[in-house]
């Protein structure tokens, strides 16, 4: 499994530490909320709403340099729109890895 990284954030922020800190702060603030909302929608079998949250989470997956995970999320989003939970376990694992990484920042 691939590992999250800050390469994109480093590239985007360059030498601007204040901007980098702000981006990381946004990740630390938004990621737990979006994961919670996703989990609630899945718990209620609201697959279309869950797919919308997967769409939002794909951006954070990309920001954290998880290229393969991005493609899994992309396919999972389509699955949810078709009322299929295929790839659910994979996506939950991606979320877990992301949360652990962000919590250590």
- How far apart CA 78 and CA 81 sit, in angstroms, is 5
| pLDDT tens readout for residues 39-59 | 999 999 999 999 999 999 999
Q: What is the mean pLDDT of residues 66-87?
A: 98
Rounded CA Rg of the chain: 14
Q: What is the mean pLDDT of residues 77-88?
A: 98
What's the maximum distance between 2 C-alpha atoms anywhere in the chain?
45
Q: Is pLDDT of 102 > 90?
A: yes
List the domain boundaries for the chain.
Answer: 7-103
| pLDDT tens readout for residues 57-76 | 999 999 999 999 999 999 99
- Binning pLDDT at 50, 70 and 90, where does residue 6 land? very high
- How far apart CA 13 and CA 85 sit, in angstroms, is 36
pLDDT of residue 49: 98
């Amino acid at each position: 499994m691939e590992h999250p990284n800050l390469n994109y954030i480093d590239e985007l922020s360059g030498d601007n530490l204040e901007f980098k800190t702000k981006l990381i702060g946004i990740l630390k603030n938004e990621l737990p909320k979006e994961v919670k909302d996703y989990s609630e929608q899945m718990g209620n079998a609201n697959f279309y709403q869950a797919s919308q949250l997967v769409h939002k989470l794909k951006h954070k997956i990309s920001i954290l340099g998880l290229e393969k995970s991005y493609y899994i999320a992309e396919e999972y989003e389509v699955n949810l729109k078709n009322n299929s939970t295929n790839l659910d376990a994979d996506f939950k694992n991606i979320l877990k890895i992301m949360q652990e990484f962000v919590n250590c920042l």
